Amino acid sequence: MTATKSIEPVPAARVEGAGRRIREDYPGPPPFALPGLLRKLWRDRLSLLADAAQEFGDVVRFTMGPKTIYFFNHPDHAKHVLADNAVNYHKGMGLAEARRVLGDGLLTSEGEKWRHQRRAVAPAFRRERIAGFAGVVSDEVGAMLGRLDSLVDGPPVDLVSEMTHLTIGVLGRTLLDADLTPLSTLGPAFEVIQDQAMFEMVTLGALPLWLPLARNRRFRAARRQLEDAVQALLAGRERVGTNDGDDVISLLLRAHRNEPDVRSRHRTLNDELVTILLAGHETTASTLSWTWYLLTRSPRVARIVGAEAAEALGDRVPDHEDLARLPYTTMVIQEAMRLYPPVWGLPRKAVGPDEIGGFRVPAGADVMICPYTLHRHPGFWADPGEFRPERFESAGAGHAHRYAYIPFGAGPRVCVGSHLGMMEAVMVTAMVARRFRFELADGVDPVPEAMLSLRVRGGLPMTVRRA
């Protein structure tokens, strides 16, 4: 990516305070560019934003028919929207439309409802509790290593599928205290749900879900699958009556046990658990998938990771204390999340009028903060397109601004599961790298797909080799 263009000062449309100028003349694509913008919005949302940042700078306004998107791409802008004035910014496009898909779970809810949900599940994410899950992660990785053993030098295996299977297993045994093995077949249902959420964003929710379209039928079937799975989890837990633990299911059942409306209670529990099931495995599976891709592209880095794991762990099963002995592997995960942040976009809607970077933001504006483009901003990253784990060698050394790197979001809505996600990703990478290496299948050129998470479009077929 070339250097971001600076925005030349021009006369402001409004003057406030002690002569301070507030601009309203946003840079952005001209009206005749609309057909191309819509194609990119549908097919390649990452290029839409990255190309705009390169051409117009850190502040861009897209006008797309009835929808106007205000794109802010400076770490100061991210800090303002996500932290300093977070109360003025609710979840925006994509996530707002996803409410028709995911309901009012932790990902999409707002205000007091969100605060109640966050408080209810917070005990499940205590750091000391997460540290105790290292053994679970090791067990699940051990089972996967057994599967990979049987695939050495054989036909390519889809590592996205393997990582999804693994992270669903870890999620069940850690946060939910449940066997999610039956849910490992629900990967396609999760994909349909994500696809529908993005479709709702692009079409502004214009097509009712009751229309007898093939897309709507697939979505309704996928939603039924997930709801049936959640109800089975809840029914099993309520049947045995063991709800005194700190797992998410127990915490939610206790938090909502006094709700008088049974149907409303079931709806709330369903929304929250579907969200946990989706967000709790998808982001880590995405991070691991992109990590393996990057390691295949950099044999030098892959060798260092394997050597570090062999020296730090030997043949034994790692525990939480071993994370400190895997600094390079940790840097690899950090760099993978820089290049391919699992949460690529943080859309927000302005509740009231505001100012960002000297520009007027009207009430109701759709505002986009994009970790994908922030993480590749040439003003804050040297050689931003290169895979260089060493840039994270010391705290803060890789970037000159705290908000230039936000793989888990920031502010009050920062990802509650970030510690578990990092622990899991580092342990998985170390345990696998000391035994195996991977080669991309012939003709495969992975492409990022910006859905609710940053997926590898079409999977990641790899041949398994001995390290």
Burial class of residue 55 (count of CB atoms within 10 Å of its CB; 0-12, 13-18, 19+): middle
As given in the structure block, the two tokens for residue 407 are 């793989």
Question: Is residue 96's pLDDT more than 90?
Answer: no
Say which range, 14-23, 77-86, 213-222, has the weakest mean pLDDT. Answer: 14-23
- Determine the Cα–Cα distance for residues 70 and 357; give it in Å rounded to an integer: 12
Nearest by Cα to 380 from 352, 366, 400: 400
The model's pLDDT over 187-239, given as tens digits with 9 standing for 90+, comes to 788 888 878 877 877 776 667 777 888 988 998 898 888 888 888 888 877 77
- Determine the Cα–Cα distance for residues 195 and 396; give it in Å rounded to an integer: 36
Question: Is residue 115's pLDDT more than 70?
Answer: yes
Find the mean pLDDT for residues 131-159.
96
If pLDDT is split at 50, 70 and 90, which confidence band does 5 have? very low
Residue 417 neighbours by CB under 8 Å, 6+ apart: 125, 175, 279, 280
Mean pLDDT of all residues belonging to the chain: 88
List beta partners, residue 448.
Answer: 456
DSSP 8-state symbol, 107: T
If pLDDT is split at 50, 70 and 90, which confidence band does 406 have? very high
Find the mean pLDDT for residues 40-49.
91
Indicate the helix (H) or strand (E) that contains 368. strand 366-369
DSSP string, 398-435: T-SSGGG--BTB-GGGS-TTHHHHHHHHHHHHHHHHTT
3-state percent helix, strand, coil for the chain, nearest multiple of 5: 55, 15, 35
| Residues 33/355, Cβ–Cβ less than 8 Å | no
Nearest by Cα to 193 from 117, 130, 101, 264: 101
- Determine the Cα–Cα distance for residues 431 and 308; give it in Å rounded to an integer: 11
Q: Which of the two residues, 272 and 19, has the higher pLDDT score?
A: 272
Residue 265 neighbours by CB under 8 Å, 6+ apart: 256, 259
- Determine the Cα–Cα distance for residues 277 and 183; give it in Å rounded to an integer: 9
Nearest by Cα to 387 from 263, 300, 278: 300
Note the pTM of the prediction, 2 decimals: 0.91
CATH of 14-466, one of 3.10.580.10, 3.10.20.30, 1.20.120.1200, 1.10.630.10: 1.10.630.10
- Determine the Cα–Cα distance for residues 165 and 428; give it in Å rounded to an integer: 13
- Order of strands across the sheet with 157-158? 157-158, 461-466, 436-440
Instruction: State the Cα angle at 376 between 370 and 380, rounded to 5°.
Output: 105
| Residues 277/226, Cβ–Cβ less than 8 Å | yes
Question: Is residue 326's pLDDT more than 70?
Answer: yes
- Determine the Cα–Cα distance for residues 56 and 144; give it in Å rounded to an integer: 46
Q: Which pLDDT score is estimated for 9?
A: 36
Q: Which of the two residues, 375 and 112, has the higher pLDDT score?
A: 375
Nearest by Cα to 467 from 149, 143, 146, 139: 149
Residue 148 neighbours by CB under 8 Å, 6+ apart: 157, 162, 432, 435, 436, 464
Q: Do you know the residue count of the chain?
A: 467
- Determine the Cα–Cα distance for residues 431 and 326; give it in Å rounded to an integer: 11
List Cα–Cα distances, 129 to 35, 245, 412, in angstroms. 51, 12, 21
Question: Is residue 13's pLDDT more than 50?
Answer: no
Q: Which pLDDT score is estimated for 231?
A: 85
For 457, list phi and psi in degrees, rounded to 5.
-65, 125
- Determine the Cα–Cα distance for residues 103 and 106; give it in Å rounded to an integer: 9
As given in the structure block, the two tokens for residue 169 are 């297993």
Question: Is residue 17's pLDDT more than 60?
Answer: no
Count other Cβ atoms within 10 Å, centred on residue 368.
23
Count other Cβ atoms within 10 Å, centred on residue 396.
10
